[in-house]
Amino acid sequence: MPPPVLVTGAAGFVGARFVWSCAARGIPVIPVDAPRHFDERTEHRGIPYGPIIDRDDLFAWLERERPTLRAIVHLGACTDTRQLDVAYLTRVNLEYSRAVWRYATAARVPLVYASSAATYGDGTLGYADDEARIPELRPLNPYGDSKLQFDLWALAEERAGRYPPAWCGFKFFNVYGFGERHKGPMASVVLHAFDQIRATGRVRLFRSHRPDIAHGHQARDFIAVEDVLRALHFALDTVVPRGIFNLGTGTPRTFLDVARATFAALGATERIEFIDMPPAIRDRYQYFTQATTTKLRGAGFTRPFTLLEDGIRDYLRRLDAAVD
């Protein structure tokens, strides 16, 4: 049997789906997360996790067991963009990630980790994954800043000669797909639209509070979780030497597009209502994101990305079949 891949955040949205994808490919996994999450999140039932490592015990376990690993895929983090506790985000997103990096460096294990499109802030500097521009980025919230600070630290460690034998960070754009229900308010607009149509027959979208953008025309780069999984496996199979890459489709779509595709997939009559955006998030809201994909394509990832309408249709089919 080949060496296992250690996966942090294995009970999270992308993490759980990644563990599932590894099982489908016959890749052994060491899952790491808070043990209670594996019992709480019913949509992940049936995923063959095997023995679980408590995220709080990970580094003691690694020191004790000294496992031979194929790679580390570090997906564990607080991903709540509303979280304002900087000390908490520093501990969970920055310090923990530094410890993972240091272990991968010392043990000579390839590392793949999740960064975020939230690092780009309001997009004033664009969305090109040019590492020379990373110090200039200004995220709109503490979550985005925690991800930016780790990207900067990783690059500084590389310059100092302290880095894993292969490493790459992926700036996830707006990921949607089956397995995200436990994220609650932070789940994708696709899931919220599905639930709202089922409950009330209509979808509620935020009004735009910018005069240059019409209601519902806020746009994001929505990427299906299946495409994210393919990119993660590409990084493992190809052993990307190093770098920070955007992971989005390169095609922004509006929130109206998402709502209309959800109505169409459900065969429901379109009813859309606009509501005010909560004042607490207005100054931290990204009105537009669009990944540049040239760098990832140049690294050899040539798979086409899933069309939004197709991804939503497949996602809703799974939601309909699920017993939550």
Which residues carry out catalysis? 143, 183
Helix residue ranges per DSSP H, the chain: 13-24, 35-40, 58-65, 86-89, 96-107, 142-159, 189-200, 225-238, 255-266, 279-282, 294-298, 308-321
Q: Please enumerate in sequence order all residues whose Cβ is within 8 A of that of 314, keeping only pairs 6 or more positions apart, or say none.
A: 224, 226, 306
How does 47-81 read in b/e, with b if 16+ C-beta sit within 10 Å? bebeebbebeebeeebeeeeeebbbbbbbbbbbbb
In contact, 254 and 222? CB cutoff 8 Å: no
The helices-and-strands tally (H runs, E runs) of the chain is 12, 13
How far apart, in whole angstroms, are the C-alpha atoms of residue 129 and residue 151? 11
